[in-house]
Structure 1
Amino acid sequence: MYIQSASEPGDSGRPNEDFCGTAQPASGHGGTLVLLDGVTPPPGDDGCAHGVPWFVSRLGGALVELSGSLADVPLSECLARAITRTAALHHRTCELSHPRTPQATVACARWSARTVEYLVLCDSPLLIRGQDGVVRPVLDDRLDQVLRAAREAPAGRRAARIEGLRNAPGGFFTAAADPQVAPLAVTGELPRSEVRALAALTDGASRWTEIFGLGDWTALFDTLERYGPRALIGQVRAAERADPAGTAHPRGKAHDDASAILALP
Protein backbone atom coordinates (compact mmCIF):
# COMPACT_ATOMS: atom_id res chain seq x y z
CA MET A 1 0.00 0.00 0.00
CA TYR A 2 1.29 3.44 -0.95
CA ILE A 3 -0.15 6.56 0.70
CA GLN A 4 1.00 10.14 0.36
CA SER A 5 -0.63 13.21 1.92
CA ALA A 6 -0.12 16.92 2.41
CA SER A 7 -1.96 19.59 4.38
CA GLU A 8 -1.35 23.33 4.49
CA PRO A 9 -3.18 26.13 6.33
CA GLY A 10 -4.69 28.88 4.25
CA ASP A 11 -3.30 31.51 6.62
CA SER A 12 0.00 31.02 8.43
CA GLY A 13 -1.40 33.07 11.31
CA ARG A 14 -4.28 30.65 11.94
CA PRO A 15 -4.26 26.95 12.87
CA ASN A 16 -5.03 24.42 10.17
CA GLU A 17 -8.62 23.17 10.55
CA ASP A 18 -8.16 20.15 8.23
CA PHE A 19 -7.34 16.59 9.32
CA CYS A 20 -5.57 13.83 7.37
CA GLY A 21 -5.34 10.33 8.80
CA THR A 22 -4.52 6.86 7.48
CA ALA A 23 -4.15 3.39 8.98
CA GLN A 24 -3.03 -0.05 7.89
CA PRO A 25 -3.90 -3.25 9.81
CA ALA A 26 -1.11 -5.40 11.15
CA SER A 27 -1.87 -8.01 8.52
CA GLY A 28 -0.89 -5.52 5.82
CA HIS A 29 -4.04 -6.37 3.86
CA GLY A 30 -6.25 -3.33 3.59
CA GLY A 31 -6.26 0.17 4.96
CA THR A 32 -8.23 3.30 5.77
CA LEU A 33 -7.99 6.97 4.87
CA VAL A 34 -9.87 9.77 6.58
CA LEU A 35 -9.97 13.43 5.54
CA LEU A 36 -11.87 16.14 7.46
CA ASP A 37 -12.35 19.81 6.68
CA GLY A 38 -13.28 21.77 9.78
CA VAL A 39 -15.94 24.42 9.22
CA THR A 40 -14.68 27.86 10.23
CA PRO A 41 -17.36 29.52 12.39
CA PRO A 42 -18.25 33.19 11.99
CA PRO A 43 -16.86 35.60 14.58
CA GLY A 44 -18.54 35.27 17.95
CA ASP A 45 -19.55 32.50 20.31
CA ASP A 46 -19.97 28.97 18.90
CA GLY A 47 -20.75 27.37 22.24
CA CYS A 48 -17.46 25.44 22.41
CA ALA A 49 -14.46 26.20 24.60
CA HIS A 50 -12.11 24.06 22.50
CA GLY A 51 -12.34 25.18 18.88
CA VAL A 52 -12.41 23.56 15.47
CA PRO A 53 -8.80 22.20 15.34
CA TRP A 54 -9.37 20.37 18.65
CA PHE A 55 -12.63 18.94 17.32
CA VAL A 56 -11.33 17.71 13.96
CA SER A 57 -8.28 16.04 15.47
CA ARG A 58 -10.42 14.07 17.89
CA LEU A 59 -13.21 13.23 15.46
CA GLY A 60 -10.70 12.28 12.77
CA GLY A 61 -8.64 10.18 15.15
CA ALA A 62 -11.73 8.35 16.38
CA LEU A 63 -12.90 7.66 12.83
CA VAL A 64 -9.49 6.31 11.79
CA GLU A 65 -9.44 4.00 14.81
CA LEU A 66 -13.03 2.77 14.51
CA SER A 67 -13.04 2.25 10.76
CA GLY A 68 -9.79 0.32 11.05
CA SER A 69 -10.68 -1.83 14.05
CA LEU A 70 -14.34 -2.51 13.23
CA ALA A 71 -13.92 -4.07 9.80
CA ASP A 72 -17.44 -5.52 9.74
CA VAL A 73 -19.16 -2.28 10.76
CA PRO A 74 -20.30 0.02 7.90
CA LEU A 75 -18.43 3.31 7.57
CA SER A 76 -21.59 5.26 8.31
CA GLU A 77 -21.90 3.49 11.68
CA CYS A 78 -18.19 4.08 12.35
CA LEU A 79 -18.79 7.79 11.72
CA ALA A 80 -21.82 7.80 14.03
CA ARG A 81 -19.77 6.20 16.81
CA ALA A 82 -16.89 8.65 16.23
CA ILE A 83 -19.29 11.59 16.50
CA THR A 84 -20.78 10.17 19.70
CA ARG A 85 -17.33 9.56 21.20
CA THR A 86 -16.15 13.07 20.34
CA ALA A 87 -19.30 14.70 21.71
CA ALA A 88 -18.80 12.83 24.99
CA LEU A 89 -15.41 14.50 25.40
CA HIS A 90 -16.89 17.97 25.75
CA HIS A 91 -20.63 17.80 26.34
CA ARG A 92 -20.19 18.80 30.00
CA THR A 93 -18.26 21.97 29.16
CA CYS A 94 -19.73 23.05 25.82
CA GLU A 95 -23.12 23.84 24.29
CA LEU A 96 -23.26 21.14 21.64
CA SER A 97 -26.77 22.16 20.57
CA HIS A 98 -25.39 25.49 19.30
CA PRO A 99 -25.95 25.61 15.50
CA ARG A 100 -22.29 26.51 15.01
CA THR A 101 -20.82 23.96 17.39
CA PRO A 102 -17.57 22.65 15.82
CA GLN A 103 -18.25 20.56 12.74
CA ALA A 104 -16.51 19.14 9.70
CA THR A 105 -16.95 17.63 6.27
CA VAL A 106 -15.82 14.02 5.87
CA ALA A 107 -14.26 11.91 3.12
CA CYS A 108 -13.37 8.36 4.12
CA ALA A 109 -12.40 5.14 2.36
CA ARG A 110 -11.60 1.65 3.60
CA TRP A 111 -10.30 -1.23 1.56
CA SER A 112 -9.66 -4.93 2.03
CA ALA A 113 -8.48 -7.64 -0.33
CA ARG A 114 -12.05 -7.90 -1.62
CA THR A 115 -13.78 -4.52 -1.41
CA VAL A 116 -13.37 -0.75 -1.31
CA GLU A 117 -15.92 1.16 0.79
CA TYR A 118 -16.35 4.91 0.72
CA LEU A 119 -18.20 7.69 2.54
CA VAL A 120 -18.53 11.39 1.74
CA LEU A 121 -20.37 13.98 3.83
CA CYS A 122 -20.58 17.53 2.48
CA ASP A 123 -18.10 19.09 0.07
CA SER A 124 -14.84 17.14 0.46
CA PRO A 125 -14.69 14.99 -2.69
CA LEU A 126 -13.36 11.46 -2.95
CA LEU A 127 -11.94 10.37 -6.30
CA ILE A 128 -11.78 6.73 -7.39
CA ARG A 129 -9.55 5.73 -10.30
CA GLY A 130 -10.51 2.45 -11.89
CA GLN A 131 -8.17 -0.12 -13.37
CA ASP A 132 -9.12 1.33 -16.77
CA GLY A 133 -7.82 4.75 -15.71
CA VAL A 134 -11.25 6.37 -15.55
CA VAL A 135 -11.70 8.70 -12.57
CA ARG A 136 -15.04 8.67 -10.78
CA PRO A 137 -15.77 11.53 -8.36
CA VAL A 138 -17.88 10.75 -5.31
CA LEU A 139 -19.62 14.00 -4.40
CA ASP A 140 -22.19 15.17 -1.88
CA ASP A 141 -23.72 18.10 -3.76
CA ARG A 142 -26.37 19.15 -1.24
CA LEU A 143 -24.41 22.22 -0.13
CA ASP A 144 -24.06 23.28 -3.78
CA GLN A 145 -27.81 22.92 -4.21
CA VAL A 146 -28.43 25.10 -1.16
CA LEU A 147 -25.97 27.74 -2.40
CA ARG A 148 -27.61 27.83 -5.83
CA ALA A 149 -31.06 28.22 -4.29
CA ALA A 150 -29.80 30.93 -1.93
CA ARG A 151 -28.75 33.09 -4.87
CA GLU A 152 -32.43 33.58 -5.64
CA ALA A 153 -33.08 35.05 -2.19
CA PRO A 154 -32.67 38.78 -1.45
CA ALA A 155 -29.03 39.60 -0.73
CA GLY A 156 -29.73 40.40 2.91
CA ARG A 157 -31.35 37.03 3.55
CA ARG A 158 -28.95 34.69 1.77
CA ALA A 159 -26.70 33.94 4.73
CA ALA A 160 -29.67 33.29 7.01
CA ARG A 161 -31.24 30.99 4.44
CA ILE A 162 -28.04 28.95 4.13
CA GLU A 163 -27.59 28.72 7.91
CA GLY A 164 -31.21 27.65 8.31
CA LEU A 165 -30.53 24.62 6.13
CA ARG A 166 -27.35 23.52 7.92
CA ASN A 167 -27.94 20.03 9.32
CA ALA A 168 -31.66 20.41 8.63
CA PRO A 169 -34.16 18.48 6.48
CA GLY A 170 -33.91 19.54 2.85
CA GLY A 171 -30.52 21.12 3.46
CA PHE A 172 -26.94 19.93 3.81
CA PHE A 173 -25.14 18.00 6.52
CA THR A 174 -21.83 18.04 8.35
CA ALA A 175 -20.38 15.94 11.15
CA ALA A 176 -20.96 17.89 14.36
CA ALA A 177 -22.43 16.52 17.61
CA ASP A 178 -25.43 14.58 16.28
CA PRO A 179 -24.65 11.02 15.12
CA GLN A 180 -27.92 10.91 13.18
CA VAL A 181 -26.27 12.74 10.26
CA ALA A 182 -23.97 9.76 9.61
CA PRO A 183 -26.56 7.64 7.71
CA LEU A 184 -27.18 10.65 5.46
CA ALA A 185 -23.67 10.51 4.00
CA VAL A 186 -23.04 9.39 0.42
CA THR A 187 -21.77 5.81 0.69
CA GLY A 188 -20.97 2.88 -1.55
CA GLU A 189 -18.83 -0.18 -2.15
CA LEU A 190 -16.84 -1.47 -5.11
CA PRO A 191 -14.91 -4.67 -5.79
CA ARG A 192 -11.27 -4.16 -4.89
CA SER A 193 -10.31 -5.55 -8.30
CA GLU A 194 -11.93 -2.53 -9.99
CA VAL A 195 -10.00 0.14 -8.06
CA ARG A 196 -6.48 1.24 -8.91
CA ALA A 197 -6.15 4.34 -6.72
CA LEU A 198 -8.03 6.69 -4.41
CA ALA A 199 -7.75 10.39 -3.61
CA ALA A 200 -9.49 12.56 -1.03
CA LEU A 201 -9.41 16.36 -0.99
CA THR A 202 -10.73 19.19 1.13
CA ASP A 203 -12.39 21.95 -0.87
CA GLY A 204 -9.29 24.08 -0.44
CA ALA A 205 -7.45 21.57 -2.64
CA SER A 206 -10.34 20.61 -4.93
CA ARG A 207 -10.62 24.25 -6.03
CA TRP A 208 -7.83 23.19 -8.46
CA THR A 209 -10.75 21.86 -10.52
CA GLU A 210 -13.89 23.36 -9.02
CA ILE A 211 -12.86 27.03 -8.88
CA PHE A 212 -9.70 27.59 -10.90
CA GLY A 213 -10.48 25.12 -13.68
CA LEU A 214 -6.88 23.96 -14.03
CA GLY A 215 -8.24 20.67 -15.33
CA ASP A 216 -11.00 18.14 -14.81
CA TRP A 217 -11.00 15.42 -12.14
CA THR A 218 -8.91 13.15 -14.33
CA ALA A 219 -6.27 15.85 -14.83
CA LEU A 220 -6.27 16.54 -11.08
CA PHE A 221 -5.71 12.85 -10.35
CA ASP A 222 -2.93 12.72 -12.96
CA THR A 223 -1.24 15.63 -11.19
CA LEU A 224 -1.51 13.89 -7.82
CA GLU A 225 -0.01 10.68 -9.16
CA ARG A 226 2.77 12.37 -11.12
CA TYR A 227 3.80 15.15 -8.75
CA GLY A 228 2.17 14.39 -5.39
CA PRO A 229 -0.29 16.18 -3.07
CA ARG A 230 2.13 18.93 -2.02
CA ALA A 231 2.69 19.96 -5.63
CA LEU A 232 -1.06 20.06 -6.27
CA ILE A 233 -1.56 22.36 -3.28
CA GLY A 234 1.33 24.50 -4.56
CA GLN A 235 -0.47 24.93 -7.88
CA VAL A 236 -3.61 25.99 -6.01
CA ARG A 237 -1.63 28.57 -4.04
CA ALA A 238 -0.14 29.96 -7.24
CA ALA A 239 -3.63 30.32 -8.74
CA GLU A 240 -4.84 32.06 -5.56
CA ARG A 241 -1.94 34.52 -5.62
CA ALA A 242 -2.64 35.31 -9.27
CA ASP A 243 -6.21 36.34 -8.36
CA PRO A 244 -5.98 37.69 -4.79
CA ALA A 245 -9.27 39.61 -4.87
CA GLY A 246 -11.25 36.75 -6.39
CA THR A 247 -12.13 38.83 -9.43
CA ALA A 248 -11.59 36.15 -12.04
CA HIS A 249 -12.40 33.24 -9.71
CA PRO A 250 -14.92 34.25 -7.02
CA ARG A 251 -14.57 32.32 -3.77
CA GLY A 252 -15.41 32.72 -0.10
CA LYS A 253 -11.77 32.84 1.04
CA ALA A 254 -8.76 34.10 -0.89
CA HIS A 255 -6.77 31.21 0.62
CA ASP A 256 -8.25 28.17 2.32
CA ASP A 257 -6.79 25.27 4.28
CA ALA A 258 -5.89 22.67 1.65
CA SER A 259 -5.35 18.94 2.14
CA ALA A 260 -5.07 15.93 -0.13
CA ILE A 261 -4.46 12.21 0.33
CA LEU A 262 -3.41 9.85 -2.47
CA ALA A 263 -3.67 6.11 -1.87
CA LEU A 264 -2.68 3.25 -4.15
CA PRO A 265 -4.12 0.33 -2.22
Structure 2
Amino acid sequence: MELVSEPGDPGRPNEDFASVGLPASGQGGSLVVLDGVTPPQDGGGCLHSVPWFTARLGGALAELTVSLPDVPLTELLSRALTRTADGHAATCDLSHPRTPQATVALARWSPESVEYLVLCDSALLVESDDGTVTALLDDRLARLPRSALATDALVDATVRNREGGFFTAAADPSVAARAVTGTLPRDRVRALAALTDGAARWVERFHEGDWADCLTLVRKEGARSLVDRVRTLERADADRPAPRRGKTHDDATVVYAELWPRRPQ
Protein backbone atom coordinates (compact mmCIF):
# COMPACT_ATOMS: atom_id res chain seq x y z
CA MET A 1 0.00 0.00 0.00
CA GLU A 2 1.04 3.59 -0.60
CA LEU A 3 -0.68 6.82 0.45
CA VAL A 4 0.09 10.43 -0.50
CA SER A 5 -2.03 13.47 0.37
CA GLU A 6 -0.98 17.07 -0.22
CA PRO A 7 -2.85 20.37 0.16
CA GLY A 8 -3.24 22.53 -2.91
CA ASP A 9 -2.05 25.55 -0.95
CA PRO A 10 0.55 25.04 1.80
CA GLY A 11 -1.03 27.96 3.65
CA ARG A 12 -4.41 26.22 3.93
CA PRO A 13 -5.35 22.96 5.67
CA ASN A 14 -5.76 19.86 3.53
CA GLU A 15 -9.50 19.10 3.22
CA ASP A 16 -8.88 15.57 1.89
CA PHE A 17 -8.79 12.48 4.11
CA ALA A 18 -7.23 9.10 3.41
CA SER A 19 -6.64 5.92 5.35
CA VAL A 20 -5.87 2.25 4.87
CA GLY A 21 -6.81 -0.57 7.21
CA LEU A 22 -5.59 -4.13 7.68
CA PRO A 23 -7.55 -6.44 9.98
CA ALA A 24 -5.55 -8.31 12.58
CA SER A 25 -6.41 -11.57 10.79
CA GLY A 26 -4.38 -10.45 7.80
CA GLN A 27 -7.11 -11.73 5.50
CA GLY A 28 -8.27 -8.47 3.96
CA GLY A 29 -8.10 -4.72 4.07
CA SER A 30 -9.79 -1.45 3.25
CA LEU A 31 -9.12 2.02 1.95
CA VAL A 32 -11.00 5.27 2.52
CA VAL A 33 -10.58 8.48 0.51
CA LEU A 34 -12.63 11.65 1.07
CA ASP A 35 -12.41 14.99 -0.73
CA GLY A 36 -13.92 17.74 1.40
CA VAL A 37 -16.04 20.36 -0.38
CA THR A 38 -14.71 23.88 0.24
CA PRO A 39 -17.51 25.90 1.91
CA PRO A 40 -18.67 29.41 0.97
CA GLN A 41 -17.36 32.39 2.88
CA ASP A 42 -20.37 32.40 5.24
CA GLY A 43 -19.20 29.03 6.60
CA GLY A 44 -22.16 26.98 5.45
CA GLY A 45 -24.05 27.28 8.72
CA CYS A 46 -21.46 25.22 10.61
CA LEU A 47 -19.06 26.14 13.39
CA HIS A 48 -16.62 23.47 12.23
CA SER A 49 -14.13 23.30 9.40
CA VAL A 50 -14.18 20.89 6.47
CA PRO A 51 -11.06 19.09 7.84
CA TRP A 52 -12.96 18.61 11.12
CA PHE A 53 -15.76 16.95 9.17
CA THR A 54 -13.59 14.78 6.90
CA ALA A 55 -11.46 13.62 9.85
CA ARG A 56 -14.54 12.45 11.73
CA LEU A 57 -16.36 10.93 8.80
CA GLY A 58 -13.18 9.33 7.49
CA GLY A 59 -12.20 8.09 10.94
CA ALA A 60 -15.61 6.48 11.38
CA LEU A 61 -15.39 4.80 7.97
CA ALA A 62 -11.85 3.58 8.63
CA GLU A 63 -13.01 1.92 11.85
CA LEU A 64 -16.30 0.53 10.55
CA THR A 65 -14.94 -0.96 7.31
CA VAL A 66 -12.57 -3.10 9.38
CA SER A 67 -14.64 -3.81 12.49
CA LEU A 68 -17.87 -4.74 10.67
CA PRO A 69 -16.69 -6.86 7.72
CA ASP A 70 -20.13 -8.35 7.04
CA VAL A 71 -22.03 -5.04 6.89
CA PRO A 72 -22.41 -3.58 3.34
CA LEU A 73 -20.49 -0.41 2.52
CA THR A 74 -23.68 1.57 1.95
CA GLU A 75 -24.83 0.78 5.48
CA LEU A 76 -21.40 1.66 6.87
CA LEU A 77 -21.46 5.03 5.11
CA SER A 78 -24.95 5.67 6.48
CA ARG A 79 -23.81 4.84 10.01
CA ALA A 80 -20.68 6.99 9.67
CA LEU A 81 -22.74 9.95 8.44
CA THR A 82 -25.15 9.58 11.35
CA ARG A 83 -22.28 9.39 13.85
CA THR A 84 -20.63 12.48 12.36
CA ALA A 85 -23.88 14.47 12.20
CA ASP A 86 -24.62 13.65 15.83
CA GLY A 87 -21.29 15.22 16.73
CA HIS A 88 -22.41 18.71 15.72
CA ALA A 89 -26.20 18.68 15.29
CA ALA A 90 -26.69 20.62 18.51
CA THR A 91 -24.48 23.52 17.43
CA CYS A 92 -24.75 23.71 13.63
CA ASP A 93 -27.35 24.03 10.87
CA LEU A 94 -27.08 20.64 9.16
CA SER A 95 -29.88 21.57 6.74
CA HIS A 96 -27.71 24.24 5.09
CA PRO A 97 -26.88 23.15 1.49
CA ARG A 98 -23.19 23.74 2.26
CA THR A 99 -23.03 22.02 5.61
CA PRO A 100 -19.63 20.26 5.60
CA GLN A 101 -19.57 17.48 3.02
CA ALA A 102 -17.25 15.33 0.97
CA THR A 103 -16.91 12.99 -1.95
CA VAL A 104 -16.25 9.35 -1.05
CA ALA A 105 -14.25 6.44 -2.46
CA LEU A 106 -14.23 3.21 -0.45
CA ALA A 107 -12.90 -0.25 -1.11
CA ARG A 108 -12.80 -3.31 1.14
CA TRP A 109 -11.42 -6.72 0.32
CA SER A 110 -11.59 -10.19 1.85
CA PRO A 111 -10.16 -13.49 0.62
CA GLU A 112 -13.27 -13.87 -1.57
CA SER A 113 -14.29 -10.43 -2.82
CA VAL A 114 -13.56 -6.74 -3.35
CA GLU A 115 -16.39 -4.34 -2.50
CA TYR A 116 -16.43 -0.73 -3.66
CA LEU A 117 -18.41 2.48 -3.18
CA VAL A 118 -17.96 5.79 -5.01
CA LEU A 119 -19.95 8.97 -4.36
CA CYS A 120 -19.38 12.11 -6.44
CA ASP A 121 -16.17 12.89 -8.32
CA SER A 122 -13.39 10.93 -6.64
CA ALA A 123 -12.18 7.98 -8.73
CA LEU A 124 -11.47 4.33 -7.93
CA LEU A 125 -9.29 2.47 -10.45
CA VAL A 126 -9.31 -1.32 -10.58
CA GLU A 127 -6.67 -3.37 -12.37
CA SER A 128 -7.88 -6.85 -13.20
CA ASP A 129 -5.81 -10.02 -13.32
CA ASP A 130 -5.41 -9.63 -17.11
CA GLY A 131 -4.09 -6.06 -16.81
CA THR A 132 -7.31 -4.28 -17.82
CA VAL A 133 -7.94 -1.08 -15.88
CA THR A 134 -11.50 0.02 -15.13
CA ALA A 135 -12.40 3.40 -13.67
CA LEU A 136 -15.28 3.15 -11.22
CA LEU A 137 -16.86 6.60 -11.29
CA ASP A 138 -19.95 8.47 -10.16
CA ASP A 139 -20.26 10.72 -13.22
CA ARG A 140 -23.47 12.58 -12.34
CA LEU A 141 -21.64 15.85 -11.72
CA ALA A 142 -19.65 15.53 -14.97
CA ARG A 143 -22.84 14.97 -16.97
CA LEU A 144 -24.48 18.21 -15.85
CA PRO A 145 -24.50 21.06 -18.41
CA ARG A 146 -22.13 23.94 -17.69
CA SER A 147 -25.14 26.24 -17.41
CA ALA A 148 -26.30 24.30 -14.34
CA LEU A 149 -22.97 25.02 -12.61
CA ALA A 150 -22.72 28.72 -13.45
CA THR A 151 -22.71 29.96 -9.82
CA ASP A 152 -22.46 28.42 -6.36
CA ALA A 153 -25.92 29.75 -5.52
CA LEU A 154 -27.43 28.07 -8.58
CA VAL A 155 -25.69 24.78 -7.82
CA ASP A 156 -26.86 24.80 -4.21
CA ALA A 157 -30.43 25.66 -5.14
CA THR A 158 -30.92 23.26 -8.04
CA VAL A 159 -28.46 20.35 -8.30
CA ARG A 160 -26.49 19.77 -5.07
CA ASN A 161 -27.87 16.68 -3.32
CA ARG A 162 -30.97 16.77 -5.51
CA GLU A 163 -32.57 14.40 -7.98
CA GLY A 164 -31.28 15.12 -11.46
CA GLY A 165 -28.13 16.64 -9.97
CA PHE A 166 -25.34 15.08 -7.92
CA PHE A 167 -24.84 13.82 -4.38
CA THR A 168 -22.18 14.21 -1.70
CA ALA A 169 -21.78 12.83 1.80
CA ALA A 170 -23.06 15.58 4.11
CA ALA A 171 -25.51 15.13 7.01
CA ASP A 172 -28.23 12.95 5.46
CA PRO A 173 -27.43 9.23 5.92
CA SER A 174 -29.87 8.24 3.16
CA VAL A 175 -27.43 9.61 0.57
CA ALA A 176 -25.43 6.38 0.98
CA ALA A 177 -28.04 4.63 -1.15
CA ARG A 178 -27.17 7.01 -4.03
CA ALA A 179 -23.57 5.82 -4.29
CA VAL A 180 -22.14 3.71 -7.11
CA THR A 181 -21.45 0.29 -5.57
CA GLY A 182 -20.51 -3.24 -6.52
CA THR A 183 -18.59 -6.39 -5.69
CA LEU A 184 -15.80 -8.08 -7.66
CA PRO A 185 -14.15 -11.49 -7.22
CA ARG A 186 -10.93 -11.05 -5.23
CA ASP A 187 -8.93 -13.33 -7.52
CA ARG A 188 -9.76 -11.08 -10.49
CA VAL A 189 -8.37 -7.89 -8.90
CA ARG A 190 -4.64 -7.19 -9.03
CA ALA A 191 -4.53 -3.58 -7.74
CA LEU A 192 -6.63 -0.59 -6.67
CA ALA A 193 -5.98 3.13 -6.79
CA ALA A 194 -8.26 5.77 -5.26
CA LEU A 195 -7.81 9.41 -6.28
CA THR A 196 -9.44 12.69 -5.31
CA ASP A 197 -10.20 14.94 -8.26
CA GLY A 198 -7.10 17.01 -7.47
CA ALA A 199 -4.95 14.00 -8.39
CA ALA A 200 -7.28 12.80 -11.16
CA ARG A 201 -6.59 16.09 -12.98
CA TRP A 202 -3.70 14.28 -14.69
CA VAL A 203 -6.37 12.44 -16.71
CA GLU A 204 -9.50 14.56 -16.54
CA ARG A 205 -8.13 18.09 -16.89
CA PHE A 206 -4.68 17.84 -18.44
CA HIS A 207 -5.27 14.71 -20.59
CA GLU A 208 -1.75 13.36 -20.05
CA GLY A 209 -3.02 9.80 -20.43
CA ASP A 210 -6.01 7.57 -19.77
CA TRP A 211 -6.92 5.80 -16.55
CA ALA A 212 -4.76 2.79 -17.41
CA ASP A 213 -1.77 5.09 -17.97
CA CYS A 214 -2.51 6.75 -14.63
CA LEU A 215 -2.50 3.50 -12.67
CA THR A 216 0.64 2.33 -14.46
CA LEU A 217 2.37 5.58 -13.50
CA VAL A 218 1.42 5.13 -9.84
CA ARG A 219 2.57 1.51 -9.81
CA LYS A 220 5.91 2.16 -11.53
CA GLU A 221 6.87 5.59 -10.15
CA GLY A 222 4.74 5.90 -7.01
CA ALA A 223 1.83 8.01 -5.86
CA ARG A 224 4.13 10.95 -5.11
CA SER A 225 5.18 11.06 -8.77
CA LEU A 226 1.56 11.47 -9.90
CA VAL A 227 0.98 14.36 -7.49
CA ASP A 228 4.28 16.00 -8.49
CA ARG A 229 3.36 15.77 -12.17
CA VAL A 230 -0.02 17.34 -11.49
CA ARG A 231 1.64 20.22 -9.67
CA THR A 232 3.99 20.82 -12.60
CA LEU A 233 1.04 20.87 -15.00
CA GLU A 234 -0.91 23.23 -12.72
CA ARG A 235 1.99 25.70 -12.59
CA ALA A 236 2.27 25.65 -16.38
CA ASP A 237 -1.47 26.15 -16.70
CA ALA A 238 -1.31 29.16 -14.36
CA ASP A 239 0.95 30.88 -16.88
CA ARG A 240 -1.61 30.56 -19.67
CA PRO A 241 -3.66 33.62 -20.66
CA ALA A 242 -7.10 33.84 -19.03
CA PRO A 243 -9.56 32.23 -18.92
CA ARG A 244 -7.88 29.40 -16.99
CA ARG A 245 -9.36 26.01 -16.21
CA GLY A 246 -10.69 26.39 -12.67
CA LYS A 247 -8.61 26.98 -9.54
CA THR A 248 -4.88 26.64 -10.03
CA HIS A 249 -4.15 24.06 -7.32
CA ASP A 250 -6.34 21.57 -5.51
CA ASP A 251 -5.77 19.16 -2.64
CA ALA A 252 -4.48 15.92 -4.18
CA THR A 253 -4.70 12.45 -2.63
CA VAL A 254 -3.72 9.04 -3.98
CA VAL A 255 -4.04 5.66 -2.25
CA TYR A 256 -2.60 2.62 -4.03
CA ALA A 257 -3.01 -1.01 -2.94
CA GLU A 258 -1.71 -4.17 -4.58
CA LEU A 259 -3.83 -7.23 -3.78
CA TRP A 260 -1.83 -10.39 -4.03
CA PRO A 261 -3.61 -13.53 -5.32
CA ARG A 262 -5.62 -15.42 -2.78
CA ARG A 263 -3.65 -18.23 -1.18
CA PRO A 264 -4.79 -21.78 -2.02
CA GLN A 265 -7.06 -23.34 0.58
| C-alpha contact 1:243 1:249 (8 A) present in aligned 2 | no
Write the deviation string for residues 171-214 of structure 1: whole angstroms up to 9, x where unpaired.
10000000010011000000001000000000000000000111
Cα shift at 1:263: 0.4
SS at match of 1:137: strand
Alignment of 1:20 with 2:21, yes or no, is no
Deviations 1:133-188 (A, max 9, x none): 1100000011112244527xxx6xx5443222101111100000000100110000
Indicate which of 175, 199, 223 corresponds to 1:205.
Answer: 199
The aligned runs of 1:163-202 (5 Å cut-off) are 163=156, 164-202=158-196
Long gaps (5+) in structure 2 = 260-265
Query: Could you list the per-position Cα deviations for residues 194-246 of structure 1 after superposition, in whole angstroms to 9, with x for gaps in the alignment?
Result: 00000000000000000011110011001000111111000000000111156
State the Cα distance separating 1:21 from its structure 2 match.
0.7
Query: CA-to-partner distance for each residue in 1:36-71, whole Å, 9 max, x for gaps?
Result: 000001212311111100000000010111111111
Query: What is the TM-score with the length of structure 1 in the denominator?
Result: 0.94
| Percentage identity across paired residues of the two chains | 60
* Separation in structure 2 between the aligned mates of residue 91 and residue 133 of structure 1, nearest angstrom: 46
Deviates more, 1:53-62 or 1:239-248: 239-248
Q: Secondary structure at the match of 1:26?
A: coil
RMSD value, Cα? 1.5
State the shift of 1:251 in Å.
Answer: 2.8
Q: Provide, for residues 79-125 of structure 1, a one-character-per-residue CA deviation record: whole Å limited to 9, x for no partner.
A: 00000000011111111111100000000000000000000000001
Determine the structure 2 residue equivalent to 1:257.
251
Q: CA deviation at 1:247?
A: 4.9
Counterpart contact for 2:193–2:256, Cα < 8 Å: yes
Q: Aligned in 2, Cα 1:248/1:218: closer, same or farther, shift over 3 Å? A: farther
Q: Secondary structure at the match of 2:238?
A: coil
User: Relative to 1, partners in 2 of residues 1:228 and 1:144: Cα closer, same or farther, differing over 3 Å?
Assistant: same
Q: SS where residue 106 of structure 1 aligns?
A: strand
**1:90 partnered with 2:88:** yes
Equivalent residue, structure 1, for 2:28: 30
Instruction: Determine which of 180, 203, 208 is the counterpart of 1:214.
Output: 208
Q: 1:150 to 1:249 in 2, by over 3 A?
A: same
Aligned match of 1:244: 238
Structure 1: 5+ residue runs without aligned partners?
A: none
| Distance in 1 between residues matched to 2:71 and 2:7, nearest whole Å | 33
Give me the whole-angstrom Cα distance separating, in 1, the residues matched to 2:155 and 2:244.
Answer: 18
**Distance in 2, Cα, partners of 1:184 & 1:76:** 9
Deviates more, 1:190-199 or 1:66-75: 66-75
The 5-angstrom pairing of residues 123-134 of structure 1 reads 123-134=121-132
Whether the 8 Å CA contact 1:212–1:249 is kept in 2: the answer is no
